[in-house]
A and B are shown apart, each in its own frame.
Chain A
Amino acid sequence: MSGVLFAEATGTWPYVAAAWVVVFGSMGAYALVTVVRGRRLSKKVPPEKRRWS
């Protein structure tokens, strides 16, 4: 009952918010994990083998 009342009061906004949070959260988390892995691995590789330097 309370769920139905909540859905009627808020409409589709909870689904919109959830979708945007999932997209931005996942992209941010993946980017962070990739950068951290890159930093950790860069310490183990000599600069001349990091070809983007």
Chain B
Amino acid sequence: MTTETVGSVEASDSGPTSTGSRTTMILGIITLISLGVLVLFGLILSPADANQGEAVRIMYVHVPSATLSYVGCFLTAIGSVVYLWRKSRWWELVAYAGAEVAALFTALTLATGMLWGRPTWGVFWVWDARLTSEAMLMLLLLGYLAVRRLAADYEVRAKRAAIVGLLLVPNVFIVRQSVQWWRTLHQTPTLSLSGAEIQGLMLFSLFTGFVSITLVFIWMVIHRFRVAWLEEQVDAEGLDTAIAERRAEGLVS
């Protein structure tokens, strides 16, 4: 076993040198296989739509991305509630990881939605209720991440970020219901409790999209949580070192 000194911390190569573990490695392999299946069904085997033509293939990545962005928001809200209630750092990091991954999927939802809108509506963007509320959700997530990274005491920025995190749930509800409450260009949900508007290979391709993007989401949240955990450890170590140095200076002077 070899050891090396990095900064003030003695790191060893006897443990894992990344955020990966046996579980996440297996999860990663399954995720890559499912993404391959998604490409096969989404781009090759599923038929074109009678009305939308080939553009319907964007649905297989757009709808799962939107759904997982909502899941990320709920995860952040749950983590925020538990942090505010019990001051749990573990849950605060879960909320942080969930918010960053949710921001990624919200950005993907907006980007794929614009690319779907151009061939179906004739424009990339229109200020209707669904698109505007989704853009507001993106801004709220960026606001959470900005507050979480404020140059302030941990307790202060975590508490403020958690309060912003709580606002995500009502915003998700508004996004979800926007096509029901207002007349919009955006279509009503393809899947609902009353059934699906698509069948056969198209429905199976969408299901494959949900499974594979969900696996990606889980893999990302786990790794992002571990990165955040490591950042906390490095920050704590740096603070301890600074305090020790100040004390040593005080003793010397």
Contacts and interface: CB of A to CB of B under 8 A. Distances in A.
B237 to A, nearest CB: 7
Contacts of B199: none
Contacts of B35: 24
A22 B12 CA distance: 38
B61 interface: yes
Contacts of A42: 11, 15-19, 230
Given A44-B237, A46-B11, A52-B226, A35 B18 contact: yes
- By secondary structure, the B interface counts as helix
Contacts of B19: 34-35, 38-39, 42, 52
A26 B130 CA distance: 23
A6 interface: no
Interface of B: 6-7, 9-12, 14-21, 35, 39, 42-43, 52-55, 57-58, 61-62, 65, 104, 107-108, 111-112, 115-116, 118-119, 216, 219-220, 223-224, 226-227, 229-231, 233-234, 237
B172 to A, nearest CB: 20
B7 to A, nearest CB: 6
14 contacts: A20-B61, A24-B35, A26-B108, A27-B104, A38-B223, A42-B15, A42-B19, A43-B11, A44-B11, A45-B11, A50-B15, A50-B230, A52-B226, A53-B16
A35 B223 CA distance: 7
- By secondary structure, the A interface counts as helix
B54 A12 contact: yes
A14 B120 CA distance: 13
Contacts of A38: 18-20, 223, 226-227, 230
A49 B19 CA distance: 12
A22 B11 contact: no
